[in-house]
Structure 1
Amino acid sequence: MASVDGSWDCVVKSPLGDQKLTLGIVSDGASFSGTASGAMGSSDVSGSVDGDTITWTQSVSVPMPMTLDCKATAAGDTLSGTVGAGAFGSFPLTGSRAK
């Protein structure tokens, strides 16, 4: 089991305010699959694993259709990274392992 595996309670600091989501990760070698769910809906996610870092893209439809470029690194029970929203910029993502 990689250090990124598990359920994470996350917050993305966006111009629309704090966006809370739960990120569930199951790694399999150099890749992972899981789910991201929050107030704006739920979607399946998958991407790559490099040590303690995961990278993925995620399509959202609310508040408008766009593809997010996400990257996060686990350190113990803490997750930190960024969510890129194209022309809207990049926003910090923080999380803690769900108990």
Structure 2
Amino acid sequence: MNTIAGTWLLRMKTPVGNIEANYHFEEQDGVMRGSATGAGETTPLTDIVVHDDPTGQRVTWRQSITKPLRLNLDYDVTVNGDALSGESRAGRLPRTRVSGERTSA
């Protein structure tokens, strides 16, 4: 089982302010799927890759949003138990710190 599976509250410190969103990950037939809900929209997560890392489980994914701005985001986080931390990046913009905690399995 992937430790990322479940529902998470993520917090991102961005140049336009702090943003919170709910992320849901689930494994179906050996494939990870996910979605994010925040800023009045729900978007699918794509290209989810999960692999073990010495510091926890490393997870990367992509997401396109339209609020507060139209952006294509790339995430790279490490899951350790019920907490995660890492970064997101939108093209050439500076990296954004991401932290989160599991809200349900």
Using the size of structure 2 for normalisation, the TM-score is 0.83
Deviations 1:29-62 (A, max 9, x none): 4x52111111252111131111211111111122
Aligned to 2:88: 83
Q: What residue identity is the alignment partner of 1:94?
A: S
Q: Secondary structure at the match of 1:58?
A: strand
Aligned equivalent of 1:72? 77
Cα displacement (A) at 1:78: 0.4
Question: RMSD across aligned C-alpha pairs, in angstroms?
Answer: 1.5
Uncovered stretches (5+) of structure 1, i.e. residues with no partner? none
Give, in whole Å, the separation in 2 of the partners of 1:4 and 1:66. Answer: 24
**Taking structure 1 as the reference length, what is the TM-score of the superposition?**
0.88
1:87 aligned counterpart, secondary structure: coil
Moved over 3 A (4+): none
CA displacement, residues 59-88 of structure 1 (integer Å, 9 cap, x when unaligned): 112233221111111101101111101222
The count of residues paired between Structure 1 and Structure 2 equals: 98
* Aligned mates of 2:24, 2:34 — CA distance in 1: 5
Return the alpha-carbon distance in structure 1 between the equivalents of residues 44 and 85 of structure 2.
20
Q: Distance in 2 between matches of 1:93 and 1:41?
A: 19
Distance, in Å, in 2 between the alignment partners of 1:3 and 1:55 is: 13
Which structure 2 residue ranges, 5 or more long, are not aligned?
A: none
Q: Percent identity?
A: 30
